[in-house]
């Protein structure tokens, strides 16, 4: 059946089977491969996208259910070719990743958090990303990245100096 998805601000019309997940639709039909499959049953969070600004598991949602909603993927928060958002840049600054597989979902989760709460405590950050599993890092540098991004976005800090 035909669905109309507003993906990263653009209306996309896609023909899908009713059983196709939003994740498969984004990856296979719209070639937005920044959302990743990890467990396909809502546990790991690697498929997280923003639906009307709120983080959601795209593996637990059918594409047909997303009809009419504003969907933001990692591709949608990247400012432009070769550019990084302040959150993306902060993840690079603290090396808030290793293999990079959970990273786009972590960053979208951080975008949603900081949109609601520009001055999160460590506990707020931990709470927000506890829905996203990372197997490489132990989370410390991810928490640090989000705290750094929040600090910079509040304008309290200059970009970190180069050594």
Q: Which residues bind other proteins (CB under 8 A)?
A: 17, 19-20, 27-28, 32-41, 44, 46, 73-75, 78, 84, 88-89, 91-95, 97-104, 107, 125-127, 129-143, 163
Q: Is the Cβ of residue 1 or residue 99 nearer to other proteins in the bound state? A: 99
Q: Is the Cβ of residue 81 or residue 155 nearer to other proteins in the bound state? A: 81
Least CB distance to other proteins at residue 135 (A): 5
Least CB distance to other proteins at residue 14 (A): 15
Q: Is the Cβ of residue 69 or residue 101 nearer to other proteins in the bound state? A: 101
Least CB distance to other proteins at residue 134 (A): 7
Least CB distance to other proteins at residue 66 (A): 18
Q: Which of 140, 89, 146 is nearest to 112 (CA)?
A: 146
Phi, psi of 100 (to 5 degrees): 85, 0
Q: Is the Cβ of residue 6 or residue 136 nearer to other proteins in the bound state? A: 136
| 151-155, Cβ contacts within 8 angstroms, sequence gap of 24 or more | 152/86, 152/90, 153/86, 153/87, 153/114, 153/118, 154/118, 154/119
| 10-18, Cβ contacts within 8 angstroms, sequence gap of 24 or more | 14/63, 16/63, 16/64, 18/62, 18/64
Q: Is the Cβ of residue 88 or residue 148 nearer to other proteins in the bound state? A: 88
Least CB distance to other proteins at residue 104 (A): 4
CB atoms within 10 A of CB 39: 13
Euclidean distance between CA atoms 150 and 105, whole angstroms: 17
């Amino acid at each position: 059946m035909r669905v109309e998805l507003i993906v990263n601000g653009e209306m996309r019309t896609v023909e899908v089977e009713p059983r196709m997940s939003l994740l498969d639709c984004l990856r296979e039909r719209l070639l937005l491969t920044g959302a990743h499959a990890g467990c396909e049953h809502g546990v790991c969070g690697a498929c997280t996208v923003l639906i009307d600004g709120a983080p959601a598991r795209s593996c637990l949602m059918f594409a047909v259910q997303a009809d009419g909603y504003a969907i933001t993927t990692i591709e949608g928060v990247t400012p432009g070719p070769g550019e990084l958002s302040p959150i993306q840049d902060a993840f690079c600054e603290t090396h808030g990743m290793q293999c990079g597989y959970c990273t786009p979902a972590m960053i979208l989760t951080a975008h949603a958090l900081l949109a609601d709460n520009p001055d999160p405590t460590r506990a707020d950050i931990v709470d927000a990303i506890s829905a996203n599993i990372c197997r490489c890092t132990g989370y410390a540098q991810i928490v640090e990245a989000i705290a750094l991004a929040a600090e910079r976005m509040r304008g309290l800090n200059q970009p970190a100096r180069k050594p």
